[in-house]
Structure 1
């Protein structure tokens, strides 16, 4: 009786197919198909897969090998051979390499546990040391009931006498300037001209409500700019000069205008106004 491999090989040759053709039809590797034809069952992954490969091979050739499969001595040899191979390779899988792998995992786990233990021990030591230092500091501090040894007083640094406090003498009150006469001599819709009987002019612009921009020039509106700024509520600026002054207020209602410490009684307006101050020397 021919073997399974010989039978399938003869049928393949009769149909004119190659090993590659059978592989494309069955999707089985040519290596396994060649092993079936050569009755070389050592390369098969197992009995179950070997039977399946044989049935697929026979189906591709459109032949029935059920009876041949049950009576074939070669396939019984397959079972014996494959089982023998499995028993042969069981030992290496549980031999030294496997034990070494398990030992390596155990060794790594041991190192991790030791590292964690070392970290915990370090933290515990640090916390304990800190608490001891804190207790020492608390114990070294004197409480109200502590009695000081007179013999130890000499070791203390003597207290320095406080420097005497010098109270500055109050200077005599400076005489206030005499009252200044401010006379309105000319007025237009947006400009005011005042005559001031003083050798110098001291101007103070104080913001009392809102914001006001101002500009102070020497002599008149074409003179040199002495000061310009935008004042907000609570701020003030002063200008002192010995010549005539020209002042422009962007929002007169928002400021008080003092001339030589005298509040100027100006017309209420929120529109820009010009103030010309002319000195009238005695």
Structure 2
């Protein structure tokens, strides 16, 4: 059974993979972390486009994937339009910061978006933000270094950076000028949601896109007649860098035992 390909610049896309496996338990997945060329979020579009093209071609050539989930906000904003044009026969699902559900959920009309500098500087994000002008006050918070800290299991760095960027995303509360909803605009950030919550009131809402992406993947596979209808599903982990780092991340962030996957 052909697998669904999932890729990110590193381990952040594991948060999306978790939602995908819950939504589609009978499917096989191959997750590719492009860690040798990370981080994407602090690079230019041309670099991200080159790497995204190389990864999708590799996944098609080596695994015959039946769909692709681009589990990276930066790669989505920079390259998904080209991947869809060049692989028109392949269902491709991408990410964007969840501003629409955040604005809908906010009672105060004040929303903060935590994301990489690359995502926040993109034309796609600018257009998305502009579409809510007048209906919500949107604060953009570039979280330099947080992806690197998460990738490196740097507990002290994660703690310090979460505190710093949550301070920049606030002030939080239910008052008329306070932020009551935060968009986690990078797939790495849901992995440290508990740490982010330490620096916010319990009423603060966090929005990420893992579940909607999984639901959209199901819809596209169903419409293409490619849904698996039996089996238990499997998972293969691959990396352009050290696959042991990816294995450790899957064990730490998703609680996956070594026997739950195969590796390159």
TM-score by structure 1 length? 0.17
Which of structures 1 and 2 has the bigger CA Rg?
1
TM-score (normalised: structure 2) = 0.18
Q: Which protein has the bigger strand share?
A: 1
